[in-house]
Structure 1
Amino acid sequence: MDNQTYNQIVNFIWGIADDCLRDVYVRGKYRDVILPMTVIRRLDAVLEPTKAAVLEMKEALDKAGVIEQTAGLCSAAGQAFCNSSPFVLKDLKSRAKQQQLKADFIAYLDGFSPNVQEILSKFEFRNQIDRMIDANILGAVIEKFVSPTINLSIHPVLEDNGEVKLPGLDNHTMGVIFEELIRKFNEENNEEAGEHFTPRDVVELMADISILPVVDKIKDGSYLVYDGACGTGGMLTIAEERLLEIANKYKKQVSINLFGQEINPETYAITKADMLLKGDGEQAENIKIGSTLSDDQHATKYFDFMLSNPPYGKSWKTDLDRLGGKGDITDTRFVVSHKDEPELKMIPRSSDGQLLFLANKISKMKHNTELGSRIVEVHNGSSLFTGDAGQGESNLRRYIIENDWLEAIIALPENMFYNTGIATFIWVVTNRKAPHRQGKVQLIDATAMKSPLRKNLGNKNCELTPEIRNEITKLLMNFAETEQSKVFDNREFGYYKVTVERPLRLAVDLSETNLDKFEQVCQVTDDMAVMSVLREVAKQLDYAMVMDYNAFLKKLDQAADNLDIKLPAKRINFIKSQFTEVNEQAAPVIKKIHKAGKAEKNSLYGLYDIENKIVEYEPDAALRDTEQIPLLHEGGIGAFFEEEVLPFAPDAWIDVAKTQIGYEISFTKYFYKPVKLRSLEEIVADIKVLEAETDGLLNEIIGG
């Protein structure tokens, strides 16, 4: 369908709201009528050609006393759904009396099969009937939807000479129209469109890169396709189309089973409706409603192909609470055993749960088949780098890459989607990498590979033509270094995050002034015994500034023993808080002395050999710093530390217990193209031209 026809239908349906619902509904509530009526009219248009056959079947079944009639009526309708009422929607526009219209319209809705009833229930459409009847607008709404100027049927409307007057609508185009209506309603309400509907051209690219690289592994049989954020179902149906198309091309006998889950009742209803319109009544039962994150309806299933465009930048706080809170989540989709970590938590911040959908799909990969599983998922840029080492986002990237499942990431052009203009990326994940890809990740920069649209569709101002999609797919399959394609070792994206410590250096001020102040405190706390010890030590040290806190402590212990006064840790810490100050000239404060073990000096880990004993210093929190050391750094952590840290801080060491591994991916780093600066001669020439123009203007003003 061309953009003109598409826009005509969207604008016509949008106009129904303004023509019929104004003054009855506030603008934010238009959707409660328009969306379900669009579905009803779509189903009605599909059922119109077989209405007589359905009524004949209904009469026969009634005479035979058959109670369960759905299967027979759907068979007569030639669809996975039916309507056994005596009406089609066009019949109802002629009702003059509102009560008769209401009764007939309810009878018409009651005539739909149970699967359609569920769709209407999710729209909560029956709640609107009385309101429309009271306002005398139901008839006008029906009349608008059955207007001969638009066609919501799958069949084209023909002129008398056989030429197409109005083209039919395939299921995906119907989905696009639904989503455009939802987008417009959200904009009217100043809402964020949590999910970004995926245009057909992007879906087709995703389907191609899911299937074409493994086409030689596709054999006769059944394949399962899954989308955990299926929206209006377009991604599932396009993937099915491409699988069947490719299978037919290679003479393979395959059957496709679609599975999905959607949290939004309206888009869930749309998906179910589209499944029914395709004649896939059984497939429609595989589409579930609810949150994939906290209520996975396909928990025990594994899939061959998984495609999704999950919501990004959207809070998942409600799901987080249902799962037990961040500290108590035990769901094995999001908390896994990996290498030496029995519980690697892949739980992102509550403000953005997009990566959890990827983790969910990874948990559903098949590991016992030759094909394995292929995941193709759209994310925004934050999934590449958000999250520090040890945090959920980084842990998920680490889990995927260290298991060698990340095949490629493709950067798409901006403004590819209807509801957002931000940068987006396609992740390609598989547990069956080709041998030549193992241990490698391919990055593809397709940001400049686009064709402009003649007219914007929402935020979408460009598209991926079949030629462009083919070019991107070839870049993926060729796996070669080009200007748009780069290949890296898995470890290129990993780094150690190390905590660099430096010793705490304390000086002790034993001046008379300090002692007098402290004595006043001791008098208040009735702890003059401590004061006696301090006076003794200060006297021994000539009331000076002591630059070695460790020596001060020894003197303090000796004096306390001589005076038979106990100095527990609480008293020591109190003295420390009152008399010490950080001084970079002072000796390091000793935290612990290891009396056993191998005596050695190892500045990397903060251990020093003093008198054949291992001494560990107290770190200074104010001087604590972190460093990111690439996993591929030659010589590892030790070499980096000696080259980049010790020359500037000779007393530094690394707290090994805090070392963590992180992963992040920066497209800018690998595909950055510096802008060529203008030469000095060009700049000087421009300045001279400007000066000449300025002089001319000045002379003109003065002369005038």
Structure 2
Amino acid sequence: MKNFKEKADLIWRVADLLRGDYKQSDYGKVILPMTVLRRLDCVLEPTKQKVLDYYPKVKALKEGAKDLALNKIAGLNFHNRSQFNFDKLIADPNNIAVNLRNYINGFSTSAREIIEYFNFDDHIDRMDDPKADILFRVVKEFQEIDLTPDRNNMEQDSLEMGYLFEDLIRRFSEQSNETAGEHFTPREVIRLMVNVLFIEDKDILTQDGIVKTLYDPACGTGGMLSVGEQYVKELNPKAELKVFGQEINPESYAICKSDMLIKGQNPSNIKFGNTFTIDGLEEENFDYMLSNPPFGVDWKKAQKIIKAEHENKGMSGRFGAGLPRINDGSLLFLQHMISKMKPGGSRIGIVFNGSPLFTGAAESGESNIRKWIIENDWLEAVIGLPDQLFYNTGISTYIWIVTNKKSAERKGKVQLINATGAKDEELYKDGKLDFNRFWQKMDRSLGNKRKKIAENGNEKGIGFITQLYGNFEENEFVKIYPNEFFGYWRVTIEQPLKVKTEHAQSPQIATDRSGNPKPDSSLRDYENIPFLKKDAEGNLVPQTISAYFETEVLPHLPEAWVDENKTKIGYEINFTKYFYEFKPLRPLAEIKADILALEEKVLDTEKRVLQ
């Protein structure tokens, strides 16, 4: 398929036929399944007659055996044995509803189940009702849209088809004020994630006959799986990457499965449902995992099941390390993916907003999850991305790379890459636009997406970020810290309670029965003491609570003490702080000169207006 944007525009225009009979928010319930049907129809067209000719020979077989035999004739994982296709459907306008159902029922089981997830049968009746009478016109419009695949480059064609679906979903989501970003991820972000995920394993992936697995627990329309598969095929045409996923949105699930079906992947590897409550691939482990779970999604509906697994299974379950706040399940997804790592080594790439980096005090659910990941030496890298990259949010995002097979040079360390790029006001140098940045401004905004990571032609695009990761060297964009750098003690600083007594001229320290001073809760304070500090030469060295207390607290509060029973351990990644560069304020004389110049300009303008 070529010119996916042009095709998307054609399909979008078909929605005009639904105006009046459907609310705008419901257009997708017709257009998306019709797009899938038309795509399947175009894919099957070259072998359709062969299937029909062979069908009488296997008609008496059981359904499973029949499907296998006819799939083989079709040369795909599916077929259609109905006498109808889109051309024949429009040849009989008076029986369009019954013939369309006959056509859908003629698909093999795997393809037919995909259509069922759209609940499209109800819409056949609705469009065929005399009050609407639009079913034939909708089918006719789709029959005129050519979605024939480019058989010389099926991988790229599948990507183009993915773009088409994503564009349609985005448009329908905007019409209904839904969140388009819940369904898919910008492709340039996926390409960056795939590059970084696979770069460490290039030697393995180029071996003859290598077979690996890729999993996405929130796979949407399958974009990450498709880009991952394309990357491996380009690297090694003889390699096989088997893809797996799970998706909670029925329409996205159906689109993803249809894509897998057309590409020859096993569609049964894509499961439907809430990953938290029903793990559709419970016994499976994977070599690679990619995901962009919904940002800040609450897990209230799954709370009972998740808490039960946490309490009853502990570390033998998926959520033993801790439970985050109820209004953000991001770190639940990551724990789930870590549970899918192979003992021999797996690699994970996941997109988060900033919250999982630092939200949660010491020994909170989030902090304990970070502690578990970092102390196990699984966090390999965090890549900060530009803001305004995603369709449903303008906030900054971060890619986490997690693995249980770090290379020798990466062991015990975490790499931070600042690829956020310049802000809009910093783009101009000496009056000229500076392209020395990590993003490009889009010609036209798509929802909240106003920027994209440069894919080529820009020294700080996807290739540059991948190189920063691969080089593993500190520079203006890269910081490398030992795991301990992110840990701290949360200590409670107490001061004595002082009370007035009738025999003493000044307040006295109140004591308990053992003679120990009682703390004054109104003077209680807290300190976060990092595990590491910088010495005189700027090197990171271990520090102790007692040493910190003696140098940083006692000189100011000589009667204070640390309540050791209340000390907690926390972990956080304050990404922005590590890359902060102090910019001195402009000299007052320079600011004054600018103000005077502006005043003079205003006065001059007023004179010309009043003349």
Normalised TM-score (structure 1): 0.76
Matching residue of 2:573: 665
Q: What is the Cα deviation at residue 168 of structure 1?
A: 11
Matching residue of 1:299: 282
Q: What is the Cα deviation at residue 287 of structure 1?
A: 1.0
**Mapping for residues 416-565 of structure 1, pairs under 5 Å:** 416-448=389-421, 449-458=438-447, 459-466=449-456, 468-507=461-500, 545=502
Matching residue of 1:233: 222
Alpha carbons of 1:591 and 1:91: their partners in 2 closer, same or farther (altered >3 Å)?
A: farther
Matching residue of 1:686: 594
After TM superposition, the structure 1 stretch with the greater mean CA deviation from structure 2, 630-639 or 346-355, is 630-639
Could you say what secondary structure the match of 2:276 adopts?
coil
Matching residue of 2:424: none
Q: What is the Cα deviation at residue 417 of structure 1?
A: 2.6
Question: Is 1:626 matched with 2:526?
Answer: yes
Q: What is the Cα deviation at residue 627 of structure 1?
A: 0.8
**Mapping for residues 112-123 of structure 1, pairs under 5 Å:** 112-123=107-118
Q: Match for 1:377: what amino acid?
A: I
Assess if the C-alpha contact under 8 Å between 1:80 and 1:279 holds in 2: yes
Alpha carbons of 1:92 and 1:350: their partners in 2 closer, same or farther (altered >3 Å)?
A: same
Assess if the C-alpha contact under 8 Å between 1:152 and 1:169 holds in 2: no
* Rounded Cα–Cα distance in structure 1 between residues aligned with 2:120 and 2:379: 44
Question: Is 1:189 matched with 2:176?
Answer: yes
Question: Is 1:263 matched with 2:258?
Answer: no
Alpha carbons of 1:680 and 1:104: their partners in 2 closer, same or farther (altered >3 Å)?
A: same
Q: What is the Cα deviation at residue 70 of structure 1?
A: 0.9
Assess if the C-alpha contact under 8 Å between 1:312 and 1:379 holds in 2: yes
Q: What is the Cα deviation at residue 191 of structure 1?
A: 2.6
Question: Is 1:7 matched with 2:5?
Answer: yes
* Rounded Cα–Cα distance in structure 1 between residues aligned with 2:450 and 2:178: 18
After TM superposition, the structure 1 stretch with the greater mean CA deviation from structure 2, 411-420 or 287-296, is 411-420
Alpha carbons of 1:105 and 1:697: their partners in 2 closer, same or farther (altered >3 Å)?
A: closer
Q: Match for 1:645: what amino acid?
A: V
* Rounded Cα–Cα distance in structure 1 between residues aligned with 2:603 and 2:25: 60
Q: Match for 2:394: what amino acid?
A: G
Could you say what secondary structure the match of 2:243 adopts?
strand
Assess if the C-alpha contact under 8 Å between 1:54 and 1:84 holds in 2: yes
Could you say what secondary structure the match of 2:512 adopts?
strand
* Rounded Cα–Cα distance in structure 1 between residues aligned with 2:156 and 2:414: 40
Q: 1:206 aligns with which of 161, 168, 193?
A: 193
The C-alpha deviation readout for 1:517-573, integer Å capped at 9, x for no partner, is xxxxxxxxxxxxxxxxxxxxxxxxxxxx5779xxxxxxxxxxxxxxxxxxxxxxxxx
* Rounded Cα–Cα distance in structure 2 between residues aligned with 1:676 and 1:377: 36
Question: Is 1:279 matched with 2:257?
Answer: no
Matching residue of 2:507: 586
Q: Match for 1:497: what amino acid?
A: R
Assess if the C-alpha contact under 8 Å between 2:325 and 2:365 holds in 1: yes
Q: Match for 1:591: what amino acid?
A: D
Could you say what secondary structure the match of 2:516 adopts?
strand
* Rounded Cα–Cα distance in structure 1 between residues aligned with 2:170 and 2:388: 15
Could you say what secondary structure the match of 1:47 adopts?
helix
Q: 1:402 aligns with which of 354, 375, 397?
A: 375
Assess if the C-alpha contact under 8 Å between 1:334 and 1:347 holds in 2: no
Could you say what secondary structure the match of 1:59 adopts?
helix
Q: What is the Cα deviation at residue 692 of structure 1?
A: 4.1
Assess if the C-alpha contact under 8 Å between 1:57 and 1:72 holds in 2: no
The C-alpha deviation readout for 1:6-56, integer Å capped at 9, x for no partner, is 333223222222x21111112222221111111111111111221111110
The C-alpha deviation readout for 1:575-600, integer Å capped at 9, x for no partner, is xxxxxxxxxx532332341xxxxxxx
Matching residue of 1:39: 36
Q: What is the Cα deviation at residue 694 of structure 1?
A: 6.0
Alpha carbons of 1:144 and 1:591: their partners in 2 closer, same or farther (altered >3 Å)?
A: farther
Matching residue of 2:329: 353
How many residues in Structure 1 have an aligned counterpart in Structure 2?
A: 577
Q: What is the Cα deviation at residue 327 of structure 1?
A: 8.2
Bigger CA radius of gyration: 1
Alpha carbons of 1:331 and 1:83: their partners in 2 closer, same or farther (altered >3 Å)?
A: farther
Q: Match for 2:329: what amino acid?
A: G
Could you say what secondary structure the match of 2:348 adopts?
strand
Matching residue of 2:141: 144
Q: What is the Cα deviation at residue 686 of structure 1?
A: 2.4
Could you say what secondary structure the match of 2:532 adopts?
coil
Could you say what secondary structure the match of 1:316 adopts?
coil
Could you say what secondary structure the match of 2:301 adopts?
helix
Could you say what secondary structure the match of 2:290 adopts?
strand
Assess if the C-alpha contact under 8 Å between 1:156 and 1:168 holds in 2: no
Q: 1:224 aligns with which of 213, 237, 243?
A: 213
Q: Match for 1:586: what amino acid?
A: P
Q: What is the Cα deviation at residue 675 of structure 1?
A: 4.2
Q: What is the Cα deviation at residue 141 of structure 1?
A: 0.9
The C-alpha deviation readout for 1:227-256, integer Å capped at 9, x for no partner, is 1111111211221222233235xxxx5432
Alpha carbons of 1:151 and 1:690: their partners in 2 closer, same or farther (altered >3 Å)?
A: same
After TM superposition, the structure 1 stretch with the greater mean CA deviation from structure 2, 31-40 or 619-628, is 619-628
Alpha carbons of 1:323 and 1:65: their partners in 2 closer, same or farther (altered >3 Å)?
A: closer
* Rounded Cα–Cα distance in structure 2 between residues aligned with 1:647 and 1:430: 44
* Rounded Cα–Cα distance in structure 2 between residues aligned with 1:235 and 1:690: 52
Q: Match for 2:328: what amino acid?
A: D
Q: Match for 2:569: what amino acid?
A: I
* Rounded Cα–Cα distance in structure 1 between residues aligned with 2:608 and 2:236: 79
Identity among equivalent positions (%) equals: 44
Assess if the C-alpha contact under 8 Å between 1:501 and 1:624 holds in 2: yes
Unaligned regions of 5+ residues in structure 1, if any? 158-166, 337-344, 509-544, 549-584, 594-614
Matching residue of 1:560: none
Q: What is the Cα deviation at residue 699 of structure 1?
A: 8.2
Q: Match for 2:440: what amino acid?
A: S
Assess if the C-alpha contact under 8 Å between 2:310 and 2:319 holds in 1: no
Alpha carbons of 1:503 and 1:126: their partners in 2 closer, same or farther (altered >3 Å)?
A: same
Alpha carbons of 1:245 and 1:654: their partners in 2 closer, same or farther (altered >3 Å)?
A: same
Q: What is the Cα deviation at residue 494 of structure 1?
A: 1.5
The C-alpha deviation readout for 1:367-415, integer Å capped at 9, x for no partner, is 2x3xx11111111111211111111111111111111111111112222
Q: What is the Cα deviation at residue 418 of structure 1?
A: 3.1
Q: What is the Cα deviation at residue 638 of structure 1?
A: 0.9
Q: Match for 2:105: what amino acid?
A: D
Q: 2:105 aligns with which of 110, 130, 134?
A: 110
Matching residue of 2:428: none
Matching residue of 1:180: 167
Could you say what secondary structure the match of 1:23 adopts?
coil
Matching residue of 1:391: 364
Q: Match for 1:489: what amino acid?
A: P
Matching residue of 2:233: 244
* Rounded Cα–Cα distance in structure 2 between residues aligned with 1:328 and 1:66: 46
- RMSD after superposition: 2.8
Could you say what secondary structure the match of 2:302 adopts?
helix
Q: What is the Cα deviation at residue 108 of structure 1?
A: 0.8
* Rounded Cα–Cα distance in structure 1 between residues aligned with 2:441 and 2:591: 34
* Rounded Cα–Cα distance in structure 1 between residues aligned with 2:32 and 2:349: 30
Q: 1:312 aligns with which of 286, 290, 295?
A: 295
Q: 2:77 aligns with which of 75, 80, 101?
A: 80
Could you say what secondary structure the match of 1:317 adopts?
coil
Matching residue of 1:597: none
Unaligned regions of 5+ residues in structure 2, if any? 422-437, 534-541
